[in-house]
Chains A and B, each alone.
Chain A
Amino acid sequence: MIGGFIVVIAIIYLIRLFGLQISDSKYKDYADNNAFLRKTVYPSRGLIYDRNDSLVVFNQPAYDVMMIPRDVHDFDTIDFCNTLQISPETFQKRLATMKSSPNYSSYTPQTLITHLSAQDYGRLQEKLYRYPGFFIQKRILRQYNYHSAGNILGNIREVSQADIKRDPYYESGDYCGDLGIEKSYDHHLRGVKGKEILIRDARGRIRGRYDNGARDIAPVSGRNLKLSIDIGLQQYAESLMVNKIGAVVAIEPATGEILAMVSSPTYDPTLLIGRARGKNYKMLVDDPQKPLFDRALQGAYPPGSTFKPSQGLIFLQEGIVNLATPYPCYRGFVNGRLRVGCHGHASPITLKPALQTSCNAYFCWGFKAMVDNKRSKYGSSANAFEVWKKHLVSLGYGYKLGVDLPHEGRGFIPNEKFYNKIYGEGHWSANTIISVSIGQGEILATPLQIANLCATVANRGWFITPHVVKEIQDTLLAPEYLEKRLPTIDSKYFEDVAEGMRMAVTGGTCRLANLPDIEVCGKTGTAQNPHGRDHSAFIGFAPYRDPKIAVCVYVENAGFGATYGVPIGSLVIEKYLTGHISPARKYLEERMLESNTIIYSGVKKH
């Protein structure tokens, strides 16, 4: 019987061992989780240079204190806090914060304290053997050489649950780009994370590398980017826009490269580094002037008279006018009871002088001739309007241009259906919507779109999708930033519009932009708006024969285009093309640097 007893026991044990060792595979995972600490090795994030190879964004190391709660044994909390120079209360608070995180697990590394200073890191590293379960994770933070271009560069932040769900590359605790090119080029900048497999004993001490590091995965550094931005020009344009609300966009017409893109008020990108990020981010979000809102990309403004070159192009293309077609202007467009005001100049007037003097009446008549002609090839006002709209869309209005930055706005160009909805089918005509012909009314455009029109005229009939990244290390730029886009308007008509814009500088509304050595072409805009004083706008390019830069300036509630738009635009052109401001124009620069138009914002006109 005793023999039988022991045989039964042995069989029970063999069955039990079968269960443990063969039918249940979870113990293998447990053993691996015990023995192997899989430590993420973060790659260095791609560096960002400007078009002249000035380093704009680079990396600085930061150290996070990580803990695997399961591996933490009792330890000297006071000594730990002293080492990190934090109070025990802070420590307890952080511990509580960590535990309340939705990603919390006692089996995986949890971030206890982020962004340790180099000194704290050094001190903790020496004592780390006393704190099993803790380790230091090296991270990459961003650092900026210039306090500029925050809206273009963006910043990095810790990934959210949504990011992890969207992109399986991310794990809790990783950083990803937020806003600007950090976001749109995140895939290029972030590189590929590496893994280091360390052997860890029961006390949480690291006993070496597993298999001598043979199974480690080396991180791959992110790709460096070369911006099309000229950081000097960017800084200069930002300084001109201080105390103003609005945007400046400068494009190299031949390449579509954005040379500068200012949204004002702007913010210092260094505010969003490291531990201070959360606090400062909230401050920026709460700022009533919305510095995080990129007015150059997202702002939807009435283009005002900067719209007129596009009108001239459409009229020429559609055969509504030729260069000799005159329209009357009796201090404005008068048709029945409708009246659109204009200012004093000769009448009747043809296209080039109309551009030169920014005659409202000319473009109203032209629009009416196109849309209201019952015997025209279009058949109806609505059809004519759709043709008009398609030309504008081909010039880059109404839809996103496709810039390589996130959150681009699309502006607004109404279509036939839009007006049918408001007025009813057949119940509207050119007179009903006459203000769209001078860039008012329902028309909205982003400063980028307005600048793009300027670049298209500068190129005499084509543009390349504007973009801020010029080169990506080891990779080609996306093809859409290399291909010419042709509008539906014949390139032969552009020369005339360019000439009109040249005349505006030499003897029209933009005389302040008439530089002695450089042939500048321009067009002002003074946009009425429901928010107060008129917006001051300007588009211009130079040199006339061989354009190197096309600029759009848009200053909210600053009055006439000539008072703020033209000076700022011409200063940006001068600065870019000559590298300095001539002494004769210093007064203008000073005035712009010191003026304040924010005070007019939100003030109703009386």
Chain B
Amino acid sequence: MRDYRNPNAGTLKHLDWFTVILYLLLVIAGVISIYAASYDFDHASIFSFEEFSGKQIRWIGLSLLLGGFLLVIDARMYETYAYPIYFAMLLLLLVTIFVAPDIKGSRSWLVFGPMSLQPAEFAKSATALALAKLFSSYNFNLNAKGSNYVKALAIIFVPVLFILAQKETGSALVYLSLFFVLYREGMSWLVLFAALVAVVIFVVAIKFTESTVIGMPVGEFAVMVMVMTLMVGMLVLYVRRFEIARNVFLWFAGTAIVESVLSKWDLHLTGYAYFLSVLGVAVGYCLFEMLRVEAKKLSITVLTVVLSVAFLFSVNFVFSHMMPHQQKRIQVALGVIDDPRGDGYNVNQAKIAIGSGGVTGKGFLKGTQTKLKYVPEQHTDFIFCTIGEEEGYLGTTTVILLFLMLILRVISLAERQPTTFARVYAYCVASYLIFHFCINIGMVIGVCPVIGIPLPFFSYGGSSLWGFTILLFILLRLDASRSSRLTQ
């Protein structure tokens, strides 16, 4: 039974100490890395408030206070005040656009005397609370009516717009990770599948442009072949109409043979003419079949094919209309161009730092890449380099495993929540962590484009640390009170 006189009794008992310990390990490892990253020839003590590490220790102290405070608040308060908190935060984001000073082109920092805070970091928890509140409202079902999607997407995208207006593209992209939550709460897998297809088409089409096959770039040729394979695959696995799949397959195979034979005498159709006509006939055939068989799945297949081709064209269009520096960043990240002096410099130096660490690293405070400032933003976004250089593969593996454990733990916490509110909120936390983890480490080791977002708990900066502390400790508070809710 709930003890109404002391709503917090049992919070400590029910607190998920495993998560707390992971949190503390990450934060402590973080501050040590910051000390190493900003260590200089004229170094001072790790505790000096003049140093990044000293400042970070202060932030950590405040974070622990904040965490403790969040734990003593009644769990129901978060649900009750989710919308007010969300709207207050939107207001703050809006105000920030206009009052924030321009710092390296971004208007996202609110300056309070010696302290600067980035509201975008705090908006993550507010958005998570609002999304959880929406899903926990009475009889809410995402797929029940279209307006529910609109509400959910609005909660996600309004802060995204405000943050984009602050020119913080990286922080805004983080919110896209909430699609994981939507998927968990009933959104069709097709959306994630479509996103995957889109990413593959994007990468293949942009990465492979150097040679041409039958008059089109090899990347786009490959995309077209993939679309054909996808069409046949969906007809077999999803629509499960084997005779249609067989006919389409025979059509593709037959025309491909004719095309390749004709190409010997240069009589073949060039690139797009060939694919568009062949795919057009196949789509027309499927449309005809829709008159006879169950239309929904077939129409989704047809739609997938049409959208894929349309996406390919739009990728080409959008890419050629991008700013040159954006194009370059994407090309560097995809390995299309090698540019160690310019846009590739950061990633190249980051790779050198990590790669030079070897198995056991160069030793604490012995990293040359980071000490001599070859790695940019080494105490913030590129903090992982310091670990890689000084602690080697053992260090990087440890950090990755710590994050993996934390994320899996958060997911398991989410799944054990009795209430929709707590579950959705927990998934939001997991999604944010996944996105930050994947993108930050991915960019440092050169597998995804450079998107300036911090490594949670590691990167220097109070806003990021506080933002994630708030996210995590609200979750811990909700989780700690789940048994009382069960019996409520």
Question: Which residue among A24, A31, A36, A207 has the maximum number of chain B CB atoms within 10 Å of its CB?
Answer: A31
A21 — which chain B residues lie within 8 A by C-beta? 354-355, 357-359, 388, 392-393, 396
Report yes or no: A13 in contact with B445, Cβ–Cβ below 8 A.
Answer: yes
Most buried by B among A16, A30, A32, A70: A30
Residue B441, interface by CB 8 Å? yes
Q: Chain A residues near B357: list those with CB within 8 A.
A: 21
Instruction: Tell me whether A17 and B445 are in contact (CB under 8 A).
Output: yes
- Give the chain A neighbours of B396 by CB distance below 8 A: 17, 21
User: A413 vs B403: C-alpha distance in the bound complex, in angstroms?
Assistant: 90
B residues 430-457 with Cβ under 8 Å of A? 430-431, 434, 437-438, 441-442, 445, 447
Do the beta carbons of B441 and A18 come within 8 Å of each other? no
Say yes or no: B352 contacts A34, CB within 8 Å: yes
Tell me how far the C-beta of A163 lies from the nearest C-beta in chain B, rounded to whole angstroms: 33
CB distance B408 to A35 under 8 Å? Answer: no
Query: Which of chain B's residues have a CB closer than 8 A to the CB of A26?
Result: 355
Let me know if A17 and B358 touch, CB within 8 A.
no
Cβ of B374 and Cβ of A6 under 8 Å apart? no
Closest to B355 in A: A27
Query: Whole-angstrom distance between the alpha carbons of A481 and B34 in the complex?
Result: 69
Question: B445 — which chain A residues lie within 8 A by C-beta?
Answer: 13, 16-17, 20
Cβ–Cβ contact B372 & A200, under 8 A: yes
Give A14 to B407 CA distance when docked, in angstroms. Answer: 16
Q: Return chain A residues, CB-CB under 8 Å to B351.
A: 20, 27
Contact mask for chain A residues 10-43; partner B; CB cutoff 8 A; 1 contact, 0 none: 1011101110111010111011101110000000
Chain A residues whose CB sits within 8 angstroms of the CB of B389 once the complex forms: 31
Report the Cα distance A2→B427, complex, angstroms. 10
A9 vs B388: C-alpha distance when bound (angstroms): 18
Report yes or no: A22 in contact with B411, Cβ–Cβ below 8 A.
no
Smallest distance from the beta carbon of A10 to chain B beta carbons, Å?
5
User: In whole Å, how far is B61's beta carbon from the nearest beta carbon of chain A?
Assistant: 30
What is the chain B residue whose CB lies nearest that of A24? B355
Q: Inside 8 A of A27's CB, which chain B residues have their CB?
A: 351-352, 354-356
Give the residues from 341 to 373 in chain B that come closer than 8 angstroms, CB to CB, to chain A: 341, 349, 351-359, 368-369, 372-373
Q: Which of A162-194 contact B (CB under 8 A)?
A: none
What is the minimal beta-carbon distance from A21 to any residue of chain B, in angstroms? 4
Contact, CB under 8 Å: B404 / A6: yes
Which of A24, A26, A34 has most chain B Cβ within 10 Å?
A34
Partner of A22, one of B341, B358, B401, B442: B358
CB distance from B60 to the nearest CB of A (A): 25
Asked if A288 is an interface residue, CB under 8 A from chain B, the answer is no
Provide the bound-state CA to CA distance between A16 and B393, in Å.
Answer: 11
CA distance A557 to B109 in the complex (A): 95
State how many angstroms separate the Cβ of B448 from the closest Cβ of chain A.
11
A2/B373 contact (C-beta < 8 A), A13-B441, A13-B442 known: no
Q: How far is the CB of B21 from chain A (nearest CB, A)?
A: 19
In the bound assembly, the distance between CA atoms of A3 and B430 in angstroms comes to 9
- What residues of A have a CB within 8 angstroms of the CB of B407 in the complex? 3, 6
B404 proximity list for chain A (CB < 8 A) = 6-7, 10
| Residues of chain B lying within 8 A (CB to CB) of residue A28 | 355-356, 358
Bound-complex Cα distance A200 to B369 (A): 10
A22 CA / B184 CA spacing, docked (Å): 38
- Are B359 and A17 in contact, CB atoms less than 8 angstroms apart? no
- Specify the chain B residue showing the minimal Cβ separation from A21: B393
Min CB distance, B193 to chain A, in Å? 12
| Interface presence of B400 (CB below 8 A) | yes
Asked whether A14 and B400 contact (CB < 8 A) given A21-B357, A24-B355, A199-B372, the answer is yes
Distance from B38 Cβ to chain A, minimum over Cβ atoms (Å): 14
- B208 interface residue (CB < 8 Å to A): no
Q: A207 to B41, Cβ gap below 8 A?
A: yes
A17 touches B372 (CB 8 A): no
Q: Which residue of B lies closest to A16 (CB)?
A: B445
A250 to B447, CA, bound (A): 78
Chain A positions within 8 Å of B374 at CB level: 31, 34-35, 201-202
Residue numbers in B under 8 Å from A18 (CB-CB): 393
Q: CA A7 – CA B434 in complex, angstroms? A: 10
Q: Is A203 an interface residue (CB 8 A)?
A: yes
User: Is A2 touching B184 in the complex (CB atoms < 8 A)?
Assistant: yes
Indicate whether A208 reaches chain B with its CB closer than 8 angstroms.
yes
Q: How far is the CB of B391 from chain A (nearest CB, A)?
A: 10
Residues of B within 8 A of A208 (CB): 41
Min CB gap B200→A, angstroms: 15
Q: Smallest CB-CB separation from B393: which chain A residue?
A: A21
Instruction: Give B18 Cβ to nearest chain A Cβ, in Å.
Output: 16
CA distance A6 to B427 in the complex (A): 13
Q: How far is the CB of A179 from chain B (nearest CB, A)?
A: 44
A199 CB contact (under 8 Å) in B354, B368, B437: B368
Q: Does B157 contact A (CB under 8 A)?
A: no
Closest to A210 in B: B368
CB distance from B238 to the nearest CB of A (A): 17
Contacting A201 at CB < 8 Å: which of B352, B373, B388, B408?
B373
Contact A17 B393 (CB under 8 A): yes
**Are B372 and A22 in contact (CB-based, < 8 A)?**
no
The answer on a CB contact under 8 Å between A20 and B355 is: yes
**Which A residues are in CB contact (< 8 Å) with B349?**
34, 202
* A32–B352 CA distance with the chains assembled, in angstroms: 10
B408: A residues at CB distance < 8 A: 3, 6-7
Q: Closest residue to A70 on the B side, CB-wise?
A: B341
Mask, A258-299, CB within 8 Å of B = 1, is: 000000000000000000000000000000000000000000
| Chain B, 385-426, CB within 8 A of any chain A CB | 388-389, 392-393, 396-397, 400-401, 403-404, 407-408, 411
Interfacial chain A residues near B352, Cβ < 8 Å: 27, 30-31, 34
B207-237, CB under 8 A of A: which get 1 and which 0?
Answer: 0000000000000000000000000000000
Q: Does B180 contact A (CB under 8 A)?
A: yes
Distance in Å: Cβ of A28 to nearest Cβ of chain B: 4
Residue from A14, A17, A30 with most neighbouring chain B CB atoms (10 Å): A17
List chain A residues, Cβ under 8 A from B356. 27-28, 30-32
**Residues in chain A near residue B411, CB distance under 8 A:** 2-3, 6
**List of B residues within 8 angstroms of A201 by Cβ:** 372-374
Tell me, in angstroms, the Cα distance from A90 to B397 when the chains sit together.
54
Contact partner of B430 (CB less than 8 A), chosen from A2, A9, A34, is A2
- Please indicate the chain B residues that have their CB under 8 angstroms from the CB of A3 in the complex: 407-408, 411
How far apart are the CA atoms of A26 and B354 in the complex, in Å? 11
Chain A, Cβ-Cβ closest to B358: A21
- A6: chain B residues at CB < 8 Å are 404, 407-408, 411, 434, 437-438
CA separation between A207 and B438, bound complex, in Å? 35
Distance between B203 CB and nearest chain A CB, rounded to angstroms: 15
- What's the least CB distance linking B180 to chain A, in Å? 5
B251 CB to nearest chain A CB (Å): 34
CB-nearest residue of chain A relative to B367?
A: A31
Interfacial residues of chain A within 355-414, with CB under 8 A of chain B in the complex: none
CA distance A1 to B407 in the complex (A): 13
* Contact mask for chain A residues 570-601; partner B; CB cutoff 8 A; 1 contact, 0 none: 00000000000000000000000000000000
CA distance A208 to B430 in the complex (A): 46
Measured CB to CB, the closest approach of chain A to B393, in angstroms, equals 4
Residues of A within 8 A of B388 (CB): 17, 20-21
A440 to chain B, nearest CB (A): 73
CB–CB B373/A13 < 8 A? no
CA distance A22 to B397 in the complex (A): 12
The 3 closest A-B pairs by CB, nearest first: A27-B355, A31-B356, A35-B368
A-B contact pairs, 15 of them (CB 8 A): A2-B431, A3-B408, A5-B434, A13-B447, A17-B354, A20-B388, A21-B355, A21-B357, A28-B355, A31-B389, A34-B349, A34-B369, A34-B374, A35-B369, A207-B372
Contacts A17-B354, A201-B372 given; 8 further ones with Cβ under 8 A? A3-B407, A3-B408, A6-B408, A17-B393, A17-B396, A21-B357, A21-B392, A34-B374
User: Which residues of chain B have a CB within 8 Å of any CB of chain A?
Assistant: 41, 180, 183-184, 341, 349, 351-359, 368-369, 372-374, 388-389, 392-393, 396-397, 400-401, 403-404, 407-408, 411, 427, 430-431, 434, 437-438, 441-442, 445, 447
